[in-house]
RNA sequence: GUGAUUGUAGCUCAGUUGGUUAGAGCGCCAGGUUGUGGCCCUGGAGGUCGGGGGUUCGAGUCCCCUCAUUCACCCCA
């Protein structure tokens, strides 16, 4: 084995897997386009304080999971983006997009970085597909965003997902609830573990989604956020649920669902996959009306968004057998060469075919005909084109259909005429570039 | 950061209470068929047994250290 290996928590994606990625990406581009979302690409790194400000400095992501460095010894610290929302919002504000038009629908498929211990469904470099609706966060907008996310899953054939819904209320609701929760938990603080006790001070809501059974039993009787919601927040949430009902989107209400990033408010949601291990959240999101102002905007900008873990999606699809039928398409023609002396003929035949748009492969290392045929098979070529002495003399070549084993003798021009008419393009994802 | 798990051929894995030359299947290469693939048959290549140290006449096997992997906590998509 080589002395060098990929950095912990990173992995290589080889051609066979790329086919699956392209397929999934193609479906995403297509579905999201149906909803009028447009792609945005932002830099992989941003100034560190952008993330501190937006995600929240008490979160683990900011506290201990960021890859940060200083390009200049005494310059500003920058960080490999651990999520996309902050960067998208920054770009949006920087370009003054909100004065160009009131609502912007943006999406991305992007690489993210978090310094966590790798585990099933968790890497240090991973990729998320996500969307941000900026300028609207009405119940309709929230429902549309959730609908779009679920539509991507159904278009991919993914089944068995569970959508969990909750509302976090507005800022004041949460302040009041936080105090009530703290008051309830404080007498039980002996039962809490170290990290939870710390959170009791800084961010008690986060204790709610602890997996520790002891803590869960304490939480069971804790005050519920629902009882602290102001009437309009409640009404808005009910509206969202109503729209989901109308769209026949199934969900369960989970009063303990809290998001890990501080900028969320009101509706929060999460989708869990039955095929994943402990890291079973395949997607999640919510409203974040306060983020724009947090990042220096003079006015509030209503916003909703979500993110889906691409690797987790891939694992889920793999386990559900949804990727089995996706095979890379082979070349149209594999040129089989009788002996090396005819190399130039084979090469020029190959040039002609390729220039006519026919995907053509040939042996580049002087292998036997048998080996060349095996290679043609391995690559799932449709045809073998034989270049031998008699062909070169007569200018008529054997073209063998490798599925049916039928063989015809044709001039190169005839070969092109036959194959170019039925050229197939399988590996271009639909909805790609058009 | 914490706890556990597993490291033997390109891949998936056997390898007995420590014993002589470390195996299988798949894959790869070649031949059987010197101008035609898939199936079949035959042969071949490929291993510092993760690395280092120790115990022993003898270590893939036992002990220690180390590196890596995987899973879980945590966190999150």
Residues 60-99 of A with CB under 7 A from strand B: 60-61, 65, 83
Q: Considering A319, A343, A367, which residue would you say is the last residue of a domain?
A: A319
Domain count for chain A: 2
CB atoms within 10 A of CB A99: 7
Residue A49 has pLDDT above 60, yes or no: yes
Could you tell me if A379 and A411 lie in one domain? yes
Residue A431 has pLDDT above 50, yes or no: no
Confidence tier at A105 by pLDDT (50, 70, 90):
very high
Average pLDDT over residues A96-120: 95
Could you tell me if A293 and A367 lie in one domain? no
Considering only CA atoms, which residue is closest to the C1' of nucleotide B74? A195
**Any domain includes A114:** yes
Residue A92 has pLDDT above 60, yes or no: yes
Average pLDDT, chain A: 90
**Any domain includes A432:** no
Q: Considering A255, A290, A319, which residue would you say is the last residue of a domain?
A: A319
List, as one string, the DSSP characters of A303-337.
EEEEEEEHHHHHHHHHHTT-STT------SEEEEE
**Any domain includes A45:** yes
Q: Which nucleotide is at minimal CA–C1' distance from A369?
A: B36
CA distances from A395 to A120, A218, A260, A344, A405 (A): 58, 85, 70, 14, 21
SS3 state of residue A164:
strand
**Any domain includes A241:** yes
Q: Which nucleotide is at minimal CA–C1' distance from A260?
A: B76
Could you tell me if A384 and A411 lie in one domain? yes
Q: Which nucleotide is at minimal CA–C1' distance from A196?
A: B74
Could you tell me if A156 and A236 lie in one domain? yes
CA dihedral sign of residues A211, A213, A219, A225: positive
Q: What ipTM is given for this predicted complex? A: 0.89
Confidence tier at A112 by pLDDT (50, 70, 90):
very high
Confidence tier at A433 by pLDDT (50, 70, 90):
very low
Q: Considering A270, A289, A319, which residue would you say is the last residue of a domain?
A: A319
Could you tell me if A280 and A387 lie in one domain? no
Closest CA to A282 of A309, A254, A253, A257: A309
Confidence tier at A428 by pLDDT (50, 70, 90):
very low
Could you tell me if A279 and A338 lie in one domain? no
| Percent of chain A's residues with pLDDT above 90 | 69
b/e per residue A188-202 (b: at least 16 CB within 10 A): beeebeeebeebbee
Could you tell me if A308 and A358 lie in one domain? no
CB-strand contact A111/B, under 7 Å: no
Could you tell me if A252 and A104 lie in one domain? yes
pLDDT (0 to 100) of residue A325: 83
Residue A253 has pLDDT above 60, yes or no: yes
Q: Which nucleotide is at minimal CA–C1' distance from A9?
A: B69
Could you tell me if A354 and A314 lie in one domain? no
Residues 380-409 of A with CB under 7 A from strand B: 384, 386, 388-391, 398, 400, 402-403, 405, 407
**Any domain includes A136:** yes
Could you tell me if A239 and A108 lie in one domain? yes
Q: Give dist(CA A305, CA A290) in Å, integer.
A: 13
Which range marks the domain in which residue A405 is found?
A: 333-421
Report CA(A390)–C1'(B46) in Å, whole number.
Answer: 39
Considering only CA atoms, which residue is closest to the C1' of nucleotide B72? A278
Q: What is the CATH number of the domain that holds A368?
A: 3.40.50.800
Could you tell me if A400 and A340 lie in one domain? yes
Q: What is the CATH number of the domain that holds A112?
A: 3.30.930.10
Report CA(A1)–C1'(B65) in Å, whole number.
Answer: 22
Could you tell me if A339 and A301 lie in one domain? no
The nucleotides of chain B lying under 7 Å from a protein CB are 1-3, 10, 28-31, 33, 35-38, 50, 68-77
Residue with tokens 């990727």: A323
Residue A74 has pLDDT above 50, yes or no: yes
Q: How much of chain A is in helix, strand and coil states, percent to nearest 5?
A: 40, 20, 40
CA dihedral sign of residues A386, A391, A392, A395: negative
């Amino acid at each position: 084995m080589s002395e060098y290996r990929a950095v912990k928590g990173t992995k290589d994606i080889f051609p066979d897997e790329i086919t699956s990625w392209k397929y999934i990406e193609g479906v995403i581009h297509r579905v999201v386009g149906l909803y009028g979302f447009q792609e945005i690409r932002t830099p992989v790194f941003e100034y560190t304080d952008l993330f501190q400000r937006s995600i929240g400095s008490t979160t683990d992501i900011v506290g201990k999971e960021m890859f940060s460095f200083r390009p200049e010894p005494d310059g500003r610290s920058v960080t490999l983006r651990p999520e996309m929302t902050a960067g998208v919002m920054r770009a949006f504000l920087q370009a003054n997009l909100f004065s160009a038009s009131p609502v912007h629908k943006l999406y991305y498929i992007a690489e993210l970085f978090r310094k966590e211990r790798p585990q099933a469904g968790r890497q240090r470099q991973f990729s998320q597909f996500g969307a941000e609706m900026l300028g609207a966060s009405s119940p309709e907008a929230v429902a549309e965003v959730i609908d779009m996310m679920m539509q991507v899953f159904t278009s991919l054939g993914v089944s068995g997902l569970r959508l969990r819904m909750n509302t976090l209320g507005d800022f004041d609701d949460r302040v009041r609830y936080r105090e009530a929760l703290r008051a309830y938990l404080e007498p039980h603080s002996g039962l809490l573990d170290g990290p939870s006790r710390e959170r009791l001070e800084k961010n008690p809501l986060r204790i709610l989604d602890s997996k520790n059974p002891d803590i869960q039993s304490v939480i069971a009787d804790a005050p519920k956020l629902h009882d602290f919601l102001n009437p309009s927040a409640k009404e808005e949430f009910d509206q969202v649920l109503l729209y989901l009902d109308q769209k026949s989107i199934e969900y369960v209400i989970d009063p303990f669902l809290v998001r890990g990033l501080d900028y969320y408010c009101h509706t929060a949601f999460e989708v869990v996959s039955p095929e994943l291990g402990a890291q079973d959240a395949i997607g999640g999101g919510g409203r974040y009306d306060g983020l724009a102002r947090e990042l220096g905007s003079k006015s509030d900008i209503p916003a909703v968004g979500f993110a889906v873990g691409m690797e987790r999606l891939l694992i889920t699809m793999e386990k559900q057998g949804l990727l089995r039928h996706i095979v890379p398409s082979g070349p149209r023609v594999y040129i089989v060469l009788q002996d090396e002396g005819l190399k130039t003929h084979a090469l020029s035949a190959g040039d002609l075919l390729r220039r006519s748009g026919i995907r053509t492969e040939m042996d580049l290392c002087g292998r036997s005909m048998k080996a060349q045929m095996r290679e043609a098979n391995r690559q799932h070529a449709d045809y073998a084109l034989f270049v031998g002495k008699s062909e070169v003399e007569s200018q008529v070549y054997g073209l063998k259909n490798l599925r049916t084993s039928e063989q015809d003798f044709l001039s190169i021009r005839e070969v092109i005429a036959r194959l170019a008419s039925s050229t197939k393009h399988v590996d271009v994802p639909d909805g790609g570039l058009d």
